[in-house]
Amino acid sequence: MNEYKKRRIVVAGGGTAGWMAAAALARTMGDAIELTLVESDAIGTIGVGESTIPPLVNYNRLLGIGEAEFMKATQATFKLGIEFENWKAQGEKYFHSFGLTGLDHWSAGFQHFWMHGQAKGHGASFDDYCLELKAAYASRFSHLPDNRMNYAYQLDSTLYAAFLRKLAEADGAQRIEGKIASVQLDGANGHISALVLESGQRIEGDLFIDCTGFRALLIEGALHVGYDDWTHYLPCDAAIAVQTATVRPPIPYTRAIAHDAGWQWRIPLQHRQGNGIVYCSRYLDRDAALDRLFSTIEGQRMTEPNFIRFTTGARRKQWHRNCIAVGLSGGFMEPLESTSIHLIQRAILRLIRMMPMGEISERDVAEFNDQQMTDMLQVRDFLILHYKATERSDSPFWRQCAGMEIPDSLQQKIALFRETGRVFRKNDELFAENSWVQVMMGQGIIPRAYHPVATKLSDQELDQLLAGLRDNVARTVASLPEHHAYVARYCGAQQASAA
């Protein structure tokens, strides 16, 4: 076996990405590494990643984090999905839930049986068969046996970073305060040898994790890996975020409300609500976007608006030489499906699985980059779907989206579903069949046919199946406590509201 030399890992930058990386590495690798995180209190973070998806539940469990403690510390609420308003058409809405809808057969998803039921005169909505969706709209929540309720969190990402910092430092991570002035490269192999701070201090390392956000000081500033621009598919390039005081009990879902040049978000936490507007600056200027945001928010403003400019896309390499990009330094896709924190999580866990024993393996690097890019392309395609599959033609923005060319991978997925009702999940992709079905049908893509296995049921068997599933959902939802009351009992953080 190779002799293992303790690796010096340097995390450049804090925020959610930096402290998620530091906490996971310190907890998982322990004494096998020497971990240093460099950040400056003078550099702000984006800090608007407040809405998450279910894999974060497992990430926290992996780190041994108590859920109630974590939720109390981050002012979190539960999240059962996302409501999309005005995406298919003005005045229409649909819900992308985290759960399953109905009951799948091994040969075909539940949508095939539901469509056969529609053909036989059953009028119930597809929504009526999804526990998480019906619970969200009833504003009810509870942990259920056998993890029957799939959920994520709506949280304060700044508080989450602070929570993880305590965890990481308790596990041996060292934090160094300071701004990075330069990145030194090894003249022999081109690897990063050290970070030089404005104070003159040198931070040497064997492996560097770039969590410097959009600046990408290491992966791009020093190593120049290049960037693939995806704005021809996802044209929004600016956002404004602001936080407001809570005016009503928090609901267990995020809202994504389309407007004539993009969309707005509303994310309810325990102590406040996160609000923001995402837009294409070609069709809406900053002042008009700010006016629109301020005219639609509820409650007293608690923060000054945070103005964000971005270019949707990805670094051509996420791991190059001895540097790994994590978070915004590796690329950006707008928060439409709350994937930002998830992509941070995937990169960190993938790195831990591929942690080098001795010299860095170029095979590991190639595999890491391939898997990361596959993740990002699959998320990209899912986001494009929301814009492309629209009946809106009321503004230049939506006409551009409806008419744009889309990747062949997405075109195949849409055409397959439209013709056959089928969806196939590839390479452990993030979004499962039910997610694609809900969004495609919500955006107006209705299959022309369904699987013949659905016709094997007699009319009585079909009646019993559909009625039984629907009634079980309704009974379960009726038995659940109100979401805000459950949160208050389980992880209420009123005493921490000044944090």
Q: What's the pLDDT band for 43 if we cut at 50, 70, 90?
A: confident
CA nearest neighbour of 317 among 219, 462, 394, 396: 219
pLDDT exceeds 50 at position 495? no
- Is residue 446 over pLDDT 60? yes
Q: What is the mean pLDDT of residues 268-292?
A: 97
pLDDT of residue 499: 34
Q: What is the mean pLDDT of residues 405-415?
A: 97
∠ CA 193-194-199, rounded to 5°: 160
Supply 195's token pair: 């970070």
Over residues 31-58, mean pLDDT: 87
pLDDT tens profile 373-391: 999 999 999 999 999 999 9
- Rama region for 154: left / alpha / beta (φ>0; ψ in -120 to 50; rest): beta
Q: Determine the average pLDDT of the residues in 456-477.
A: 97
Domains and CATH numbers, the chain: 7-50+156-229+312-360 (3.50.50.60)
pTM value?
0.96
Given a contact cutoff of 8 angstroms between Cβ atoms, the answer to whether 354 and 324 are in contact is: no
Residue 322 in contact with residue 207, Cβ under 8 Å? Answer: yes
The residue-averaged pLDDT of 330-349 equals 95
Q: What pLDDT does 428 receive? A: 82
Burial annotation 224-242 (CB, 10 A radius, 16+ → b, else e):
ebebeebeebbbbbbbbbb
Look up residue 256 and give its two tokens.
């994504």
What is the overall mean pLDDT for the chain? 95
Query: How high is the pLDDT of residue 41?
Result: 87
